[in-house]
Amino acid sequence: MIAAAHRTHRGYAAFVIHRLSGVGLAAFLPLHFLALGTALNGEAALDDFLRWTAHPLLKAAETALVVLLTAHLTGGLRLLALELLGWRDWQKTAVAMSGGVSLAAGLMFLLNLGVP
């Protein structure tokens, strides 16, 4: 099956990443509200929840969340530049830069966690 020409363009990949990161962030919101809600049940409940979040698998998910957040932010900034400035040749570079910034933010977050 031959892919449509627009689906092989870097802008399409940026579009897909931006949409998927938005969906991932939206899926995270109920968990975030659950975490905030445990604080309403007292300090002990919040401490128990925070102890549970120290699990290495959850730390990996937290790093993925930071990458999703940064991908969505940089993709949104790229879209704003596209809307306000129009298409230019440097937009291809902006797609690559937004991906690089997202991965760099996730790596910096992971290194700050002290996870081996």
Please state whether 43 falls in left (phi above 0), alpha (psi between -120 and 50) or beta: alpha
- Domain boundaries along the sequence of the chain: 9-24+56-113
Q: Which residues of 68-101 are buried (b: 16+ CB within 10 A; e: fewer)?
A: bbbbbbbbeebbeeeeeeeeeeebeebbeebbee
pLDDT digits (tens, 9 = 90+) for 102-114: 888 878 887 786 5
Q: How confident is the model at residue 23 (pLDDT cuts 50, 70, 90)?
A: very high
pLDDT number for residue 8: 66
Question: How far is 43 from 107, CA to CA, in rounded Å?
Answer: 31
pLDDT digits (tens, 9 = 90+) for 61-95: 888 888 888 888 888 887 787 777 766 777 777 77
Q: Give the predicted TM-score (pTM) of the model.
A: 0.68
